[in-house]
Amino acid sequence: MSLITTRPGPGPARPYTFPAVRRLTAHGGTVIAAHLPGQILASSALLLDASAARETEGREGTATVLAKSLEEGTRKRDSAAYALALEGLGAELSASVDWDTFRVGVAAPVPVLTDAVRLAAEAARTPLLAAEDVIRVRDDEVTALRMDWAQPGPRADAALRSALFGAEGRYRRPLHGDPTSVAAVTVEDVLAFHESWMLRPGVLLVAGDLDALDLDALAEAAFAGTSGEPLEQAGPLGVPVPPARRTVLVDRPGSVQSTLRLGHRAPERATPDYVAMTLAATVLGGAFTSRLNHLIREVKGYTYGIRGSYAMTRRAGRFEVAAGVQTAVTAPAIRDTLGEISRTQLEGVTEEELEVARSWRAGQLSVEMQTPGAIAGALASLVVHGLPDDYYETLRREYLEATVEQVSEAAARHLTVDGLTLVVEGDGAVISEGLAEFGDVVDAEV
């Protein structure tokens, strides 16, 4: 006997289905729920139109300070009592901010989900926001940001964002602000942000066993005491491309790696090219066998990992390659990376590569969407981007049917080597000379 030499083919495929989605309008708001029979945990999130994009100039980070202040006590109970009440259910609050929404999430065993949502809503709608607490949370957030910014990455991210979105108001600054802007946030800013954006009903997402959950009770818990109509949505920001490539150095003396962030602008999430662009980026830098990971990690051994992807929000998008490479090979790694981006843009993808990308992206829809939390995240995308309830079945089909021509055309249209901004965070004394081959090097102002 010996090993079986022939690779087995697939068995019969089970049809893909996204969990059944139920919508309910009640108590002034909308509930969107996905049915996960038998799941012991349930996940829920209140989605509010109170994103970082609504912050005022120079006070970037206001929404994040608010998010971190929600658990500092409510009008009903102090922070210690709140923590014990919520954690006594086995639940933890996650309040987060992105470019499109403010999200207050909570996961708990099914029998106590309504109680957990009621506590989450209590924090979101009626936080105490005592001045001394907000100031302390803000100061702690400044310290936490300094800690975070001491790691490689955040300064490079900020430099790239500033270069790509320099003319786009709020979008040119980091999502959570920077240590300076957060330090400038006042108690009044936080109170005003809460008053202006957090009191409309919003949307409640629920993922769990709906046979054991009362959606009307959940709606009542989430929307009690709220009022107001949904806000008007602003349009996309467009895709300006700079006239020439730029290189920005973020100095990190003594760094044993250089952190690369190479990027340019891209369309927003609603673009009809979404599927083709995603597949092109998967071939270039998404899968483990992608062109970039194969060459830079597997062949050259320059890095532990390199990724290229599009990130797309409601109003804007960007393409980015991210990696940490050994200091000594910084310039060769960038040269090879540009080569692969260029090759993908000019020559497109092959059927063999696309087959991997198609199957991977389609398969990931079932493989990566098993938990209530992941399903709640998928529901959030439906809400934010106005997608239909059967969207994920459609998306899967579009992935599987995409052709080499469509994907290559998207690569040609949505990749540009000449319009890239190259941000390199590393030991300037060692690497700046080598970076000259990519054009003039500018020092970052971060």
Partner 1 sequence: MGPGRCKIGGVTSPTAPVATTGYPWPIETTRLANGLRVVVSEDRTAPVVCVNLWYDVGSRHEPPGQTGFAHLFEHLMFEGSEHVKKTEHMRLVQGNGGSLNATTNPDRTNYFETMPSEHLELALWLEADRMGGLVPALTQETLDNQREVVKNERRQRYENVPYGDAWLRLLPLLYPQGHPYHHATIGSMEDLNAAALETFQAFHQQYYAPNNCVLTVVGDTTGAEVFALAEKYFGSIAAVPDIPPAPDGTLPIPAGAASRETVTAAVPAPRIYLSHRTHPFGTPGYDAVTVLATVLGNGRGSRLYQRLADGARIAQPDYIGSYGVDLAHAPAPLIVTATVKDGVPLEKLEQGLSDVIRSLVDEPISSDELNRAKALLTTAWWRTVSTVGGRADTLGRYTTQFGDPAAAADRLPRWQAVTVEDVTEAARTLLAPESRVTLIYLPEENQSEDTQPEEAA
CB of 41 to partner 1, least distance (A): 5
CB 393 within 8 A of CB 365: no
Give the residue from 335, 320, 331, 328 showing the smallest Cα distance to 159: 320
150 interacts with partner 1 by CB under 8 A: yes
**112-118: long-range contacts, CB 8 A cutoff, minimum separation 24:** 113/42, 113/44, 113/206, 113/208, 113/213, 113/218, 114/213, 114/214, 114/217, 114/218, 114/221, 115/89, 116/44, 116/86, 116/89, 116/91, 117/44, 117/46, 117/204, 117/218, 117/221, 117/222, 118/221
Handedness of CA 372, 374, 378, 380 (dihedral sign): positive
132 interacts with partner 1 by CB under 8 A: no
CB of 289 to partner 1, least distance (A): 5
Site track 329-358 with partner 1 (rule: CB under 8 A), x = hit = --------------------------xx--
8 interacts with partner 1 by CB under 8 A: yes
Query: Can you tell me which of 140, 390, 405, 443 binds partner 1, judged by CB under 8 A?
Result: 140
CB of 441 to partner 1, least distance (A): 21
289 interacts with partner 1 by CB under 8 A: yes
CB of 108 to partner 1, least distance (A): 7
Which of the ranges 198-206, 210-218, 300-308, 310-318 carries the binding residues for partner 1, by CB under 8 A? Answer: 300-308
397 interacts with partner 1 by CB under 8 A: no
- Residues 6 or more apart whose Cβ sits within 8 Å of residue 36: 19, 42, 207, 208, 209, 210, 372, 375
CA–CA distance, 418 with 405 (Å, rounded to integer) = 23
SS3 398: helix
430 interacts with partner 1 by CB under 8 A: no
108 interacts with partner 1 by CB under 8 A: yes
Amino acid at 446: V
CB of 234 to partner 1, least distance (A): 32
CB of 363 to partner 1, least distance (A): 1
Is the Cβ of residue 89 or residue 270 nearer to partner 1 in the bound state? 89
85 interacts with partner 1 by CB under 8 A: yes
Query: Can you tell me which of 23, 56, 58, 143 binds partner 1, judged by CB under 8 A?
Result: 143
